[in-house]
Amino acid sequence: MSEEKQFTYAQVKEHDQKKDVYMVVHDVVYDLTEFVDEHPGGEEVMLDVAGDDATEAFEDVGHSDEARDILKKYKVGILKREAGDPKPKVAPPRPSNAAAGAGTDVGVFAYAFFFIAAVVAYGAYQYLEKQKQAAAGAQ
């Protein structure tokens, strides 16, 4: 089994032009030269982090599972950090769209529950008021 190719931060920094784009995401090195023109967000966003650690930028956008799968095919190695390199821009991977949607469903359910509870409470209040009025009118 062959070992993954290792790149130093200085080696990655050399690949910062449109015709030669490397970047690091979670300490994995990717050659995205072929993908620059295809990137849905435009080439500018990729060139801003070309030759650099793009972890924070990648995670801040909240890329889909599909984007993460596309990224895998451009992997060329791993980053070998050395003394003096910038500290890693650690950002935990965002949850997949399915997990994010589950959190949203819980939020919607909570709002729906409180809305229904308020409607029921209002109905109960109206019912009790009518009962009081009926009892007062019967006397």
Q: Is 88 exposed, middle or buried (0-12, 13-18, 19+ CB in 10 A)?
A: middle
The per-residue pLDDT of the chain, averaged, comes to: 84
pLDDT band of residue 110 (cuts 50, 70, 90) is confident
Instruction: Compute, in degrees rounded to 10, the torsion defined by CA atoms 98, 101, 106, 112.
Output: -140
Give the pLDDT confidence score for residue 91 in this predicted structure.
54
Residues 96/60, Cβ–Cβ less than 8 Å? no
Q: Which residue has the higher pLDDT, 104 or 52?
A: 52
pTM of the model: 0.63
- For residue 87, count other CB atoms closer than 10 A to its CB: 7
Give the pLDDT confidence score for residue 52 in this predicted structure.
92
